């Protein structure tokens, strides 16, 4: 009888229900099948009775079962850990990340499989198949807030699922209008890099990103505790590196101070994205601020900032200097964006 054990994420909402369903499907002899083309080794788990998809399983590259069951591929441990981290950090399901955990699957006379497991999200389209004008402002903002916190370097249209079917409704005047569609983000294996990097935010130039944050969104952002989140990740995912955890801290503080200063999601994403010229790739505004803060501690620091080189006291000094640099940078951004200063 196969055994499914939760390695990380056991206390997160919805995980035990997911594992119970997955264990039942595995025990029934359901075969894992490659997801879509099978690239990367992602596997789909179906319910043996209903035939419906239950979960997506992403095995570790160095702890997978035989090639006949995983398509000959697998995921780096860093990517699998980040899949779980994204769910653990999506407090109260704010961005609708599906329940995710790190599991160990043991079968008699077979190698143990360590993998991430995520509840399958039933969907009709991904964001690339529909125009962004159909997406709700709230849903775009919530995905964007998550991506900013995690410095997601791979948020493309294909890993934003459109959960609602495109149905039509009647407007007050009797005309037909489409209801706003809700989004579900997936594939977080390239978030929380170990050093500042150039993110890719598909939503950056969507019109919803230029709309102001709502009161509820501002309250959520203000309620985030990056230092508590960092401790949670160290406890739940001890293999996740400290530089990656520090990225979360820096980006969350950046988000909080920027939102409080009146910047919109597009402004924040733009400040995190590098500018390109004919000569070379420049630093993003966020990188330049971090470089300036690091230089106040170590004048010999490299151009590309990595927080792994900072000791405990240096990290504290860096964060203090970083926060001091933020208010004038945000005022400059608002002036450049034509936003009135209050």
Mean local confidence (pLDDT), 312-317: 93
**What CATH number does domain 125-278 carry, 1.10.3470, 1.10.1070, 1.25.40, 2.60.200?**
1.10.1070
Q: Where in the chain is the domain with CATH 1.10.1070?
A: 125-278
pLDDT at 36 > cutoff 70: no
pLDDT digits (tens, 9 = 90+) for 71-100: 334 457 788 999 999 999 999 999 999 999
- Predicted model pTM: 0.88
pLDDT at 141 > cutoff 70: yes
Q: How many CA atoms lie within 13 A of 211 on its CB side?
A: 17
Q: What is the pLDDT of residue 45?
A: 86
Return the higher-pLDDT residue of 107 and 92: 92
Cα torsion angle, 203, 252, 234, 309, sign = positive
pLDDT digits (tens, 9 = 90+) for 258-287: 999 999 999 999 999 998 765 566 899 999
């Amino acid at each position: 009888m196969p055994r499914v054990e939760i390695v990380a994420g056991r206390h997160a909402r919805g995980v035990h229900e997911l594992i119970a369903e997955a264990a039942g499907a595995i025990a029934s002899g359901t075969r894992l099948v490659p997801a879509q083309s099978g690239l990367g080794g992602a596997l789909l788990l179906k319910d043996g009775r209903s035939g419906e998809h239950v979960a997506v399983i992403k095995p570790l590259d160095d702890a997978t079962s035989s090639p006949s069951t995983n398509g000959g591929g697998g995921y780096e441990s860093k990517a699998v850990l980040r899949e779980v981290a994204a769910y653990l950090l999506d407090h109260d399901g704010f961005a609708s990340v599906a329940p995710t955990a790190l599991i160990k699957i043991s079968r008699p006379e077979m190698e143990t499989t360590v993998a991430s497991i995520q509840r399958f999200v039933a969907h009709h389209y991904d964001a690339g198949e529909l125009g962004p004008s159909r997406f709700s402002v709230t849903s775009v903002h919530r995905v964007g807030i998550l991506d900013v916190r995690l410095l997601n370097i791979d948020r493309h249209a294909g890993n934003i699922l459109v959960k609602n079917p495109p149905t039509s409704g009647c407007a007050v005047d009797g005309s037909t209008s489409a209801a706003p569609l809700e989004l579900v983000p997936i594939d977080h294996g390239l978030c929380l890099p170990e050093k500042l990097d150039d993110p890719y935010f598909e939503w950056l130039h969507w019109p919803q990103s230029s709309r102001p944050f709502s009161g509820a969104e501002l309250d959520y952002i203000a309620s985030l505790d990056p230092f508590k989140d960092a401790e949670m990740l160290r406890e739940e995912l001890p293999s996740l590196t400290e530089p990656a955890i520090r990225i979360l801290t820096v980006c969350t503080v950046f988000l909080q101070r920027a939102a409080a200063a009146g910047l919109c999601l597009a402004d924040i994403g733009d400040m995190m994205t590098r500018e390109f010229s004919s000569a070379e790739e420049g630093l993003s505004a966020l990188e330049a601020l971090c470089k300036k803060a690091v230089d106040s501690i170590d004048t010999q620091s490299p151009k590309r900032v990595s927080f792994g080189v900072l000791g405990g006291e240096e990290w504290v000094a860096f964060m203090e200097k970083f926060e001091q640099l933020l208010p004038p940078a945000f005022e400059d951004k608002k002036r450049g964006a034509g936003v009135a200063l209050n």
